Amino acid sequence: MRSKFFLFIIILIFIIIFLIFYKGLTNYSIYTPKINIENDIPVFSANIFDSDLQVSSKELFDPKKSYLLNIWSSWCVPCRDEHALLMDLSKDEKVNLIGLNYKDRLNNAKNYLNELGNPYSKILVDETGTIAIEWGAFGVPETFLIYENKVIKKYIGPLNQQFLIEIKSLIK
């Protein structure tokens, strides 16, 4: 009798643990980072892609213009997926695309842009990943819509057609 009771308690404990883990796995929104908007852009300086020149964020962003800062890398597969949308968006004169090349090798990044095209008006280099951290990025790709030197929208992951429509409506 005692062994049956012990077996029942062990099975009950495993069921409770299973339910807790199952609930945690199905509630994936608890792992989604909070996206704060209307934050000032960080103050930083970075090297311009394929040059020895440095630029500061104060020189780069004009408060009267809209910008889309896209954090990308040649080794990032989702970055390839969104690249055609960025090429399309680069034709819109209402927004300036700035690329932030994240933890990449210069030759790989050049080959990537030669193969797919360059949608960016300027590309900054972030070899160590610290600039992306200052922006509050969690990975690549991430995109920040900027107006009046404030982040008004943040897109985590690759851009898609729905995001593109939203961006175009926000920059009108």
Q: Are residues 48 and 10 in the same domain?
A: no
Q: How far is CA 59 from CA 23, 44, 55, 88, 132, in A?
A: 48, 10, 7, 26, 18
- Is the preceding peptide bond at 119 cis, omega within 30 degrees of 0? no
Q: What percent of the chain has pLDDT over 90?
A: 64
C-alpha 130, offset from chain centre:
14
**Dihedral of alpha carbons 96, 150, 77, 160, sign:** negative
Q: Residue 125 is part of which domain span? A: 36-170
Same domain, 108 and 27: no
pLDDT 10s digits, 5-59? 888 889 999 999 988 888 777 665 544 555 556 688 899 999 999 898 999 999 9
Q: What local confidence, expressed as pLDDT, does residue 31 receive?
A: 47
Q: What is the CATH number of the domain that holds 149?
A: 3.40.30.10
pLDDT at 148 over 60: yes
| Residues paired with residue 56 on neighbouring β-strands, in sequence order | 45
pTM: 0.78
151: pLDDT strictly greater than 70 = yes
162 pLDDT exceeds 80?
yes
Q: Would you list the DSSP string of 81-135?
A: HHHHHHHHHTT-TTEEEEEEEES--HHHHHHHHHHH----SEEEEESSSHHHHHH
